[in-house]
Chains A and B, each alone.
Chain A
Amino acid sequence: MNTQLQRELSLSRRHFLRGLGACIALPAFESLRPVRMLAASAAAGSGLAVTKTGAPLRAAFLCFPNGAIPSAWWPKEDGKQFEFSRTLKPLEPLREHLQVLGGLDQKFAYPGPDGAGDHARGNGVFLTGVRLKKSATDIRAGISIDQVMARHIGHLTRFPSLELSSDAVRTAGACDSGYACAYQFNLSWSSATTPVAAESNPRAVFERLFGAGAPGERATNMKRRQQEQRSVLDFVLEDARGMNRRLNGRDREKLDQYLTGVREIETSIQKAERFGTVKDPGVETPSGIPQERAQYVQLMFDMLTLAFQTDCTRVATLLLGHDGDNRSLPEIGVPEGHHDLSHHFNNQEKIQKLTDIDLWYVTQFAKLVKKLNDTKDVDGESLLHNSMIVYGSGNADGNRHTHSNLPLILAGAGGGTLTPGRYVQHGAKPMTNLFLSMAERMGIQKLDSFGDSTGRLGDV
Chain B
Amino acid sequence: MAIPPSTLRPGPRPTLPAPWLWLLCLALPACAAASDSAAMATFRQQIQPLLKEYCYDCHADGANKGGVAFDELKTDAAVLENHDLWWKALKNLRAGIMPPDKKPQPSATQKLLIEQWIKSSAFAADPQNPDPGRVTVRRLNRTEYRNTVRDLMGVEFDTEKEFPPDDSGHGFDNIGDVLTLPPMLLEKYLAAARTIVSMAVPARAKAPEEFVLNGRSFRGDEPSPNATNRGPMNATTQALSYYDAASVTNRHRAAHPGRYQLLLDVTANERFVDNQFDYNKCRLTFRVDGREVHQHEYTREGGKAFHFDIDQQWQAGEHELVWVMEPLTPQQKRVRSLSIRLDSVTVRGPLEPKYWVRPKNFARFFQQDAPRGAAARRRYAKEILEPFVWRAYRRDVEPKTIDRLVALAETTYRQSGKTFEEGIGQAMVAVLASPRFLFREESAVADINASRHVGSARPPAASSSYALVDEYALATRLSYFYWSSTPDDALLRLARDGRLREQYTEQARRLLRDRRSEALVRNFVGQWLQTRDTETVTIDARQVLNREAASDPDGEKRRQRFRALRDKPEESLTPEEKKELEEIRSTFFRRFGRPLRAELTGDLRRALRQETEKSFDYVVREDRSLLELINGDYTFLNERLARHYGLTNLNVTGEELRLVRVPPESGRGGVLTQGSVLAVTSNPTRTSPVKRGLFILDNILGTPPAPPPPDIPPLEDAAKDIKDRPVSLRETLALHREKPLCSSCHNRMDPLGLAFENFNAMGMWRDKERNQEIDATGRLLSGESFSRIQELKQILAQNHAVEFYRTITEKLLTYALGRGLEYYDVLTVDAIVEELKRSDGRASVLLTGIINSAPFQKTRLAEMPQNAESPRNVKTAQAAALAQ
Contacts and interface: CB of A to CB of B under 8 A. Distances in A.
A285 to B, nearest CB: 11
Contact of B305 (A3, A173, A326): A3
A438 to B, nearest CB: 23
18 contacts: A2-B199, A8-B234, A12-B302, A137-B178, A172-B531, A178-B707, A231-B426, A232-B433, A235-B434, A246-B443, A250-B137, A251-B137, A257-B182, A262-B186, A288-B303, A328-B684, A336-B540, A345-B716
B436 A239 contact: yes
B175 interface: yes
Contacts of A181: 167-169, 178
Contacts of A245: 865
B459 to A, nearest CB: 26
Given A228-B194, A240-B435, A235 B182 contact: no
B828 interface: no
B139 A254 contact: yes
Contacts of A180: 167, 169, 178
A139 B867 CA distance: 29
A41 interface: no
B177 A258 contact: no
Contact of B707 (A1, A115, A257, A258): A115
B781 interface: no
Interface range on chain A: under 10, 10 to 19, 20 to 34, or 35 or more?
35 or more
A115 to B, nearest CB: 6
Given A163-B184, A246-B441, A246-B443, A347 B272 contact: no
Interface stretch (B5-13, B157-165, B471-479, B788-796): B157-165
B134 to A, nearest CB: 8
A268 to B, nearest CB: 8
Interface of B: 136-137, 139, 157-158, 161-162, 164-165, 167-171, 173, 175-187, 190, 193-195, 198-199, 230-232, 234, 265, 267, 269, 272, 274, 301-305, 307, 343, 401, 404-405, 408, 411-412, 426, 429-430, 433-436, 438-439, 441, 443, 526-527, 530-533, 536, 538, 540, 542-543, 563, 683-685, 698, 706-712, 714-719, 819-820, 863, 865, 867, 869
Interface in A245-277: 245-251, 254-255, 257-258, 260-262, 264-265
B304 A12 contact: yes
A287 interface: yes
B588 to A, nearest CB: 11
A229 B430 CA distance: 9
A194 B714 contact: no
A264 B307 CA distance: 36
Contacts of A163: 184
Given A12-B301, A247-B865, A116 B709 contact: yes
A10 B408 contact: no
B751 to A, nearest CB: 21
A459 interface: no
A171 to B, nearest CB: 5
Interface in A312-363: 326-328, 330-331, 333, 335-337, 340, 343, 345-347
Contacts of A288: 161, 303
Which of B301, B343, B683 has most chain A Cβ within 10 Å?
Answer: B683
- Pick the 7 closest A-B CB pairs, nearest first: A12-B302, A261-B186, A116-B707, A335-B540, A10-B303, A170-B165, A261-B183
B304 A254 contact: no
B433 A340 contact: no
Contacts of A258: 181, 186, 435, 438-439
B194 A225 contact: yes
A20 interface: no
B716 to A, nearest CB: 8
Given A9-B161, A246-B443, A337-B683, A261 B714 contact: no
Interface of A: 1-3, 5-12, 14-15, 110-111, 115-118, 136-139, 163, 169-175, 177-178, 180-182, 185, 190, 193-201, 204, 208, 225, 228-229, 231-232, 235-236, 238-240, 242-243, 245-251, 254-255, 257-258, 260-262, 264-265, 287-288, 291-292, 295, 326-328, 330-331, 333, 335-337, 340, 343, 345-347, 399-401
B570 to A, nearest CB: 15
Contact of B865 (A117, A246, A337): A246
Contacts of B716: 345-346
Contacts of B435: 236, 239-240, 243, 255, 258
B145 to A, nearest CB: 14
A146 to B, nearest CB: 14
Contacts of A118: 710
A174 B181 contact: no
B710 A401 contact: yes
Contacts of B438: 258
Contact of B187 (A177, A196, A261): A261
Contacts of B274: 292, 331
Contact of A172 (B231, B441, B533, B867): B533
Contacts of B194: 225, 228
B820 A136 contact: yes
A251 B136 contact: yes
B187 A208 contact: yes
Contacts of A399: 714
Q: In terms of DSSP, what is the predominant structure of the interface of chain B?
A: loop
B430 A137 contact: no
Contact of A261 (B181, B231, B405, B412): B181
Contacts of B714: 345-346, 399-400
Given A201-B161, A261-B182, A345-B714, A231 B408 contact: yes
A137 B175 CA distance: 8
A17 to B, nearest CB: 11
B484 to A, nearest CB: 15
Nearest to A337: B684
Given A8-B231, A345-B717, A287 B304 contact: yes
Contacts of B302: 10-12, 14-15
A327 B538 contact: yes
Contacts of A335: 540, 542-543, 684-685
B13 to A, nearest CB: 38
A206 to B, nearest CB: 14
A247 B137 contact: yes
B359 to A, nearest CB: 11
Contacts of B543: 335-336
A174 B526 CA distance: 12
Contacts of B867: 246
A13 B436 CA distance: 40
A170 B172 CA distance: 12
Contact of B164 (A200, A242, A328): A200
B433 A236 contact: yes
Contacts of A232: 190, 193, 408, 426, 429-430, 433
Contact of A255 (B184, B439, B717): B439
B411 A265 contact: no
A337 B434 contact: no
A6 B563 CA distance: 42
* B139, B303, B819, B867 pick with most chain A CB within 10 angstroms: B303
Given A171-B533, A180-B167, 5 more contacts: A139-B177, A198-B164, A208-B187, A235-B404, A346-B717
A287 B230 CA distance: 15
B339 to A, nearest CB: 12
B684 A340 contact: yes
A54 B689 CA distance: 60
A264 B189 CA distance: 14
A173 B173 CA distance: 8
B563 A254 contact: no
A243 B161 contact: no
Given A172-B533, A246-B443, A326-B538, A197 B164 contact: yes
Nearest to B300: A12
Given A3-B265, A8-B231, A235-B408, A336 B526 contact: no
B802 to A, nearest CB: 23
Contacts of B170: 136-137, 174
